[in-house]
Structure 1
Amino acid sequence: MASESEPLLQRSPDMSQYPTMFDPQSLVRKGFCPVHAGAPPLETHSLYYEQHGTGEKHVLLINGLNTNSFGWDFQVKSLAPTYSMLVFDNRGCGYSGYPAGRYTTSGMAEDIIVLLDHIGWTSLRQIHVVGASLGGMIAQELALRISSRIASLTLCVTTPGGMPWQNFPPFKGIQFLTTLLLTKEPEQKVPTVLKMLYPFAWLEENAANDPQQRTNRQVQTESYLRRVLFSPKQRIIGHVSQLAAALTHYVSPDKLRRISEAIPKVVILCGDEDSLVDLRHSRDLKASMPEAEFIQWKHTGHGIHSQRPTEFRDLLVRIFHEADTTQIIDVMTQ
């Protein structure tokens, strides 16, 4: 088991085959965490992970559907100087393995617990968990299992789930996902990906603080194609299996209430122009999590942390601070 007292960079001889898109200067360690199952336990797959930064506060970022960890580029770059940032590829995507059998959000949450134990993040109220889309579903299951280890929980553009037919995205989202499944080349996927994640009007605007004065469409196209270069092509089985996990996800109102009561700070974040997750799902989360803070950003699509990266980062900093302040107050009043 790796621990934080071990050498800063954990590399097996073949790790050079797995280049990182993140800043190598902030890289603390990267590698593969073996995941076992059965009796006797046998390794079923492994999770690729990277830690950036050495801050006392620990942040876990959980990716969305069929998205590798490099989608958190801005958040890792901007937060690693202050926090310890942990990113990883979910099973069936990126550098991680493709285990046989059905994928579920509960099983993917169990993967994360193995990873956290592997790197030694086991203390009480140590981890700030951020999950987007499918990552938010996995984060709910994770919170059910290790709520005492979580300091804050941020659920972005996600859903508590229900029966599979209730979990289907709006019709436009179904069209987008089907098109992507049937499209082979990354360059051909770009127009569909952008329409799926971002509002049309925003894509046509000039990107903020871009020295080349490009549009958001141009910037996001370049960003997407750059991520593709740093990761193997996802197999169809991974695409379908992750989608199946999303469609079968369900955390009951009673369980959500328990999460809301147990974790010092919970935030539900959504946009008002989401093509993949209906806004009513975020409202359903809030209805079952009365202590949670509910935030809806205007003119914002499903790709919320990449459409509004600076606002997203600033929100996370506030959430982490308020969670830690709440814990201090709780200790003082005991």
Structure 2
Amino acid sequence: MDGDTSEQQQQQRWPSIHDPATCARKGLCPVTEAGGRLSPAKSYSLYFEQHGTGPIKLVFVMGLGMSCNAWSTQLVHFARLPQYSILVFDNRGVGNSDAPRGPYTTSSMAEDVITLLDFLSWTDKRSLHLLGFSLGGMIAQELAYRIPERLISLTLGVTTAGGFPLFNFPPWIGMKGIIRLQFIRDPKRRIPHTLEMCFNAAWLDAKAENDSKGRTNREVQIALFEKRASVTRIQTPQGFLWQTWAGFTHHVQAERLTQISKTVPKVLILTGDEDHLVRPSNSAYLKRHMPEAEYIVWKDTGHIVSGQHVERFNTLLERVFVEGQDKLEGR
């Protein structure tokens, strides 16, 4: 009975879109970030969920303004497979995690993740498959530079190495959408604008494949985003501001990219050719400085590659995980 009560209390405190039957543990990881000479240390918590208890460990890092509920289509797939343990979490400034005062940087957000991995004892050498999406891909680059010895594979989805802040700005469609969303607090009213930024219009208006209700992709995505919004805490203006600052100031130098490419057994760079939030040319730049990496561009695809091509994306990840292990073992 006590166990049931505890589970109910957890669901009420930290509601989640993910299946509670696959959840092995969830909670808050305490983080303390040392301040400089003129600023004190900051203490805050990161919310996390681990699904599955298999030997293959997956770490998924989400992007700007999105909680770990945005990994729902990946959790549905991987959490049902007994070989996997999947870690998802809310970055600082979003969801159930705290939003400490800024500024944030992708390097400090990567240190948050290392603290979380240490907290969970996910510290073994060559034990992790890391996937970073958009801002999460920027954080993943910083992670891969800091703890390459823990990684088997690294997947960088729709992301950038950054540089001078002006060059980190998204294309006009994305920039316009980001600005507009700051004046809309109602989660449901935000969804149409989010979809326009994250998917290409032709795909949104097309009939969804294998949908028993005969809906368009737009209708399917609206229902999914509404479901996520119903259990996700609204991001604070402070959280959005400092996460955005982290993205705009992100920069991993070319020599560091080359070092990552050499030290992680398998690296995949993936983008869509109609991305309105992170220019596809940024992925081409990553490839130029990560010569060992596999580089894939999906045609007629927007920013959320994982949502536009769910089965294709999940199958690709499975291949990356296998190839990373094969390279590690010299096969």
TM-score category, normalised to shorter length = over 0.9
Equivalents in 2 of 1:124, 1:323: separation in Å?
14
Matched, 1:288 2:284: no
Partner SS state of residue 237, structure 1: helix
Structure 2 match to 1:33:
29
- Deviation of the 1:55 alpha carbon: 1.3
Change in Cα spacing, 1:86 to 1:155, as seen in structure 2 (3 Å) is same
Matched, 1:20 2:13: no
1:136-160 Cα deviation digits (max 9, x unpaired): 0000000010000011000000000
Structure 1 match to 2:271:
270
Structure 2 match to 1:79:
78
- The within-5 A match list for 1:49-128 is 49-80=48-79, 81=81, 82-128=83-129
- The within-5 A match list for 1:130-149 is 130-149=131-150
After TM superposition, which residue ranges in structure 1, 4 or more long, deviate above 3 angstroms?
Answer: 10-16, 39-43
- Deviation of the 1:15 alpha carbon: 5.9
Change in Cα spacing, 1:106 to 1:12, as seen in structure 2 (3 Å) is farther
Structure 2 match to 1:203:
204
Letter in 1 for 2:60: L
Equivalents in 1 of 2:16, 2:31: separation in Å?
22
Structure 2 match to 1:260:
261
- Deviation of the 1:188 alpha carbon: 1.5
Partner SS state of residue 329, structure 2: helix
Letter in 1 for 2:61: I
Change in Cα spacing, 1:14 to 1:21, as seen in structure 2 (3 Å) is closer
1:195-235 Cα deviation digits (max 9, x unpaired): 10101010011111111111100010011111111111110
Asked whether the 8 Å contact 1:11–1:31 carries over to 2, the reply is no
Partner SS state of residue 87, structure 1: strand
Change in Cα spacing, 1:16 to 1:191, as seen in structure 2 (3 Å) is closer
1:243-270 Cα deviation digits (max 9, x unpaired): 1000000000000000000000000000
Q: Size of the alignment, in residue pairs? A: 322
- The within-5 A match list for 1:135-174 is 135-174=136-175
Asked whether the 8 Å contact 2:48–2:88 carries over to 1, the reply is yes
Partner SS state of residue 329, structure 1: coil
- Deviation of the 1:43 alpha carbon: 5.7
Could you state the TM-score of these two structures normalised by the residue count of structure 2? 0.94
Asked whether the 8 Å contact 2:42–2:100 carries over to 1, the reply is no
- Deviation of the 1:172 alpha carbon: 1.4
1:152-193 Cα deviation digits (max 9, x unpaired): 000000000001001001111110100111112122112111
Equivalents in 2 of 1:84, 1:219: separation in Å?
28
Partner SS state of residue 276, structure 1: coil
Structure 2 match to 1:45:
44
Structure 1 match to 2:184:
183
- Deviation of the 1:300 alpha carbon: 0.4
Q: Give the alignment's Cα RMSD to 1 decimal.
A: 1.8
Asked whether the 8 Å contact 2:54–2:85 carries over to 1, the reply is yes
Equivalents in 2 of 1:15, 1:188: separation in Å?
26
Asked whether the 8 Å contact 1:91–1:99 carries over to 2, the reply is yes
Partner SS state of residue 139, structure 2: helix
Letter in 1 for 2:290: M
Structure 1 match to 2:218:
217
Equivalents in 2 of 1:37, 1:169: separation in Å?
29
Letter in 1 for 2:278: V
Letter in 2 for 1:205: A
Asked whether the 8 Å contact 2:127–2:151 carries over to 1, the reply is yes
- Deviation of the 1:275 alpha carbon: 0.4
Structure 2 match to 1:249:
250
Equivalents in 2 of 1:152, 1:275: separation in Å?
27
Q: What is the percent sequence identity of the aligned residues?
A: 44
Equivalents in 2 of 1:38, 1:249: separation in Å?
20
Asked whether the 8 Å contact 2:35–2:42 carries over to 1, the reply is no
Asked whether the 8 Å contact 1:11–1:29 carries over to 2, the reply is no
Change in Cα spacing, 1:134 to 1:297, as seen in structure 2 (3 Å) is same
Asked whether the 8 Å contact 2:158–2:283 carries over to 1, the reply is yes
Change in Cα spacing, 1:240 to 1:43, as seen in structure 2 (3 Å) is closer
Equivalents in 2 of 1:271, 1:38: separation in Å?
38
